[in-house]
Structure formats: C-alpha cells, structure tokens
C-alpha cells in the first residue's frame, strides 16, 4: 500500500455494504467520493455526475463512467433523476470562503447552487446525503447563511441532520484543511450516526514526495519570480521559517509574507488557484510541490490519472474534497445505516 494511503489500516472493511449502492454526485470535481468508494472496495453504480468545467469533465470521463454527466446543475430537470442510496455534493465554496468576497447567497451564480442540491435531494430521496463546504460557511453572515441551509434540509422532515468541521490532517494525510460536512440520513435507516474520530498522523509531507524530479525545471526554486523569492526571504527574516533545510511548506500564492503561514512537514490548505498556478514551495528540497503530490495530499487513489494540463490539475486538486476524510465518513455511515 502506498505510504499516503496508510490511513486505510484504520478502516474496517467488514462494514462495507454487500448490496450495490446507487450514487449520485454534483459539484464534486474530480470525484473524490468515487475515489473513496474505490479505496473501500464498495460495489456501486455511478448514476450521475455534474460539473461546468470542461477540464473537470475530461478527467471524469477518463477515470469514471457515470451513467449521466451533466454540465449545468442549474438547468437540469431534477424531477427526472433516479432514486439514490447516496448523494454527495460539494457545492461551490467561493461565495462563503474567508479568502473570497463572502457574498453568500447574494452571489447570483455560485451562491445559489445549494438550492439545486436541495432540489436534487428532494427528488432523488437518497438514504444518505453528504454536503461539503469551507469552514467559513458556518459563521458566514453571522451564521444566518448556515442556519438557512439547515432550515431547508430539516424541512425535508424525514432526515436526521448532522454536521461537523473535519480536518484532513486528522485522518492520516499531512494537509491542514478544515471543511464542514453536513450529513443527512433517512430516519428509518439511521441506527445512530457519529462522525469518525481522528486518528494519529503517522506520516509527514516528506513521506509522500515524488522521486526523480530533481532536474525538472518547472519545479525548481529558480522558476520562482523575484517577488516570490523575496517572500521566502522575509519569512526567514521575521522568524516564521526556522532553518530552510527543514521541510517547511509555504503557500506562495500571496501578495506578501504577511498573508502566508508556513507549516513544518505538513501542507497548508491546498488552493485551486483559478488554474493560473499553485505555488507551494518546499524549503528542504528547494522546489515546488508537483501536481502528483497535490493529488496525494488529497488522498487520491494511485490509479487516478489526470489528462489535463499541469495548472488545471493543480486547480482540480485544490477544489477537491479530501478522499481520506470521505473514506472515514463513508465507513461511519456504513456502520450506522441500514441500506
């Protein structure tokens, strides 16, 4: 087993359902939910998927076989969707992120996608649904946005609703990534769901590094702009980085040193970077993180192959749900839900 999938030792396969599960996914990018089910060995039928990014669709088509693939959730006739066992949606987070403008539901495009997710749940009546978003959603607009979401979900009447903020690094992968997960379980199937308990982090970022990229000019320190090099120097001067020979990971997608916090042997939250370049610098190796390392930091299955450009791969990894976290959530669901 690959070192970055070591967390699978904590997952009990005896709880894996014997029946074939029907899964529908929306706004889940490179389909982390399906990657998690594959790692767990779950027998499933991928009923549908959706994304409005052509590059994401290319990766979905290369790696998966959803029965239907929609490119616009907002124009889909939700009433014609099939009954599901599980529905997963990572509705766009930019409207709620602390790094964005935080327009919330006032964002006419991305902020209203939740309501399409809600309508999809109404019509597909899944036994379980999983919604994922940034941590900032919980407190957005003095918690009014999150309370609105919960009110809509509770209006469905037949679901128990659970939510919690989980961090990727608490489930076996060295990335500091906090996300809120909202779980809905049909009351007639719920035996008492509990969110998964954290496990020890047994590996660091250096344990998942790619080999043999020493001469790849794209990733070398010299490829950084003078401005990015100045940021690294400032971080050393102000004491945020102690000893460049140690594996400090620095997000250099910033305008100044004040806007970034290096982490030792663990990655800060991976960002999408809007496809224009995701510059995460590893001081001990004097280079940038590779796209494959990005995917590892999201827990993707080793067999996943990206067929899009380097920058688009960074973007998709930064937008993805963490596969390892979903593995633990699914296993907790399988322990407590009658399918």
CATH number (domain holding residue 102): 3.40.50.150
Question: What are the 10-residue block averages of pLDDT along the chain, 339 residues in total?
Answer: 85 92 92 95 96 94 95 93 97 54 48 86 98 91 88 94 98 98 98 97 95 68 81 96 96 92 96 71 91 94 91 92 98 97
The β-bridge relationship of strands 128-134 and 86-89 is: parallel
pLDDT at residue 145, as a whole number: 85
- Report how far residue 306's alpha carbon sits from residue 211's, in angstroms, rounded to the nearest whole number: 18
Buried b (16+ CB within 10 A) or exposed e, 168-207: bbbbbbbbbbebbbbbbbbeebbeebeebeebebebebee
Strand (E) or helix (H) holding 5? none
Give the closest residue to 205 by CA, choosing from 172, 243, 233.
Answer: 172
pLDDT at residue 123, as a whole number: 97
**Rounded to the nearest 5 degrees, what angle is found at the Cα of 106, between the Cα atoms of 103 and 109?**
95
- Report how far residue 2's alpha carbon sits from residue 206's, in angstroms, rounded to the nearest whole number: 13
* Domain end position, chosen among 250, 270, 289: 289
Which range of residues forms the domain containing residue 241? 211-289
Number of domains in the chain: 2
User: Which pair of tokens denotes residue 262?
Assistant: 């290096």
Cβ atoms of 293 and 210 closer than 8 Å = yes
**Does 304 map to a domain?**
no
Helices 113-124 and 144-154 pack at an angle, to 10 degrees, of: 20
The H helix count followed by the E strand count for the chain is: 8, 11
- Please indicate, yes or no, whether residues 285 and 323 belong to a single structural domain of this protein: no
**Does 216 map to a domain?**
yes
**Does 301 map to a domain?**
no
- Report how far residue 114's alpha carbon sits from residue 93's, in angstroms, rounded to the nearest whole number: 10
Give the closest residue to 310 by CA, choosing from 238, 244, 213.
Answer: 213
The contacts of residue 63 (CB under 8 Å, 6+ apart) are: 30, 31, 304, 305
- Please indicate, yes or no, whether residues 55 and 116 belong to a single structural domain of this protein: yes
- Report how far residue 205's alpha carbon sits from residue 228's, in angstroms, rounded to the nearest whole number: 21
Phi-psi region of 142 (alpha: psi -120 to 50; beta: other; left: phi over 0): left
- Please indicate, yes or no, whether residues 180 and 326 belong to a single structural domain of this protein: yes
Give the closest residue to 185 by CA, choosing from 165, 164, 161, 166.
Answer: 161
User: Which pair of tokens denotes residue 173?
Assistant: 């992968």
- Please indicate, yes or no, whether residues 187 and 328 belong to a single structural domain of this protein: yes
**Rounded to the nearest 5 degrees, what angle is found at the Cα of 92, between the Cα atoms of 55 and 159?**
125
- Please indicate, yes or no, whether residues 53 and 130 belong to a single structural domain of this protein: yes
**Does 307 map to a domain?**
no
pLDDT at residue 110, as a whole number: 44
Q: Which residues have a catalytic role annotated?
A: 93
**Does 128 map to a domain?**
yes
- Please indicate, yes or no, whether residues 248 and 165 belong to a single structural domain of this protein: no
Cβ atoms of 41 and 64 closer than 8 Å = no
pLDDT at residue 313, as a whole number: 92
pLDDT at residue 91, as a whole number: 85
**Does 102 map to a domain?**
yes
- Please indicate, yes or no, whether residues 192 and 81 belong to a single structural domain of this protein: yes
Buried b (16+ CB within 10 A) or exposed e, 253-278: bbeebeebebbebbbbbbbbbebeeb
**Does 302 map to a domain?**
no
Alpha helices in the chain (DSSP H): 32-40, 54-63, 113-124, 144-154, 226-237, 291-297, 310-319, 323-336
pLDDT at residue 127, as a whole number: 98
Give the closest residue to 78 by CA, choosing from 119, 38, 133.
Answer: 119
- Please indicate, yes or no, whether residues 283 and 198 belong to a single structural domain of this protein: no
pLDDT at residue 99, as a whole number: 46
Residue for token digits 């997952």?
11
- Please indicate, yes or no, whether residues 228 and 331 belong to a single structural domain of this protein: no
- Please indicate, yes or no, whether residues 57 and 154 belong to a single structural domain of this protein: yes
- Please indicate, yes or no, whether residues 217 and 191 belong to a single structural domain of this protein: no
- Please indicate, yes or no, whether residues 285 and 184 belong to a single structural domain of this protein: no
**Does 223 map to a domain?**
yes
């Amino acid at each position: 087993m690959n070192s970055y999938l070591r967390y699978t030792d904590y997952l009990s396969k005896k709880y894996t359902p014997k029946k074939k599960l029907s899964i529908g996914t929306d706004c889940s990018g490179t389909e982390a939910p399906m990657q998690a089910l594959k790692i767990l060995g779950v027998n499933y039928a991928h009923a549908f998927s959706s994304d409005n990014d052509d590059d994401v669709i290319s990766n979905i088509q290369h790696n998966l076989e959803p029965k239907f693939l929609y490119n616009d959730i907002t124009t889909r006739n939700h009433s014609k969707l099939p009954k599901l066992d599980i529905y997963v949606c990572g509705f766009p987070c930019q409207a709620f992120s602390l790094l964005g403008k935080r327009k919330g539901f006032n964002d006419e495009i991305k902020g209203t996608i939740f309501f399409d997710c809600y309508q999809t749940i109404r019509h597909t009546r899944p036994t379980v649904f999983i919604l994922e978003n940034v941590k900032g959603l919980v407190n957005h607009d003095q918690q009014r946005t999150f309370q609105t979401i919960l009110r809509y979900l509770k209006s469905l009447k037949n679901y128990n609703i659970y939510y919690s903020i989980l961090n990727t690094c608490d489930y076996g992968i060295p990335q500091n990534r906090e996300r809120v997960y909202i779980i809905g379980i049909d009351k007639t199937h719920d035996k008492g769901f509990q969110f998964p308990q954290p496990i020890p982090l047994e590996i660091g970022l250096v344990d998942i590094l790619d080999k043999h990229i020493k001469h790849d000019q794209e990733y070398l320190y010299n490829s950084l702009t003078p401005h990015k090099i100045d940021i690294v120097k400032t971080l050393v001067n102000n004491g945020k980085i102690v000893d460049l020979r140690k594996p400090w990971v620095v997000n250099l997608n910033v305008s100044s040193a004040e806007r970034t916090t290096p982490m030792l042997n663990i990655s800060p939250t991976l960002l999408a970077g809007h496809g224009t370049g995701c510059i995460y610098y590893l001081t001990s190796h004097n280079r940038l993180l590779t796209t494959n390392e990005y995917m590892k930091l999201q827990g993707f299955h080793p067999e996943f192959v990206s067929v899009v450009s380097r920058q688009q791969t960074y973007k998709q990894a930064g937008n993805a749900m963490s596969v390892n976290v979903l593995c633990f959530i699914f296993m907790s669901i399988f322990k407590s839900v009658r399918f």
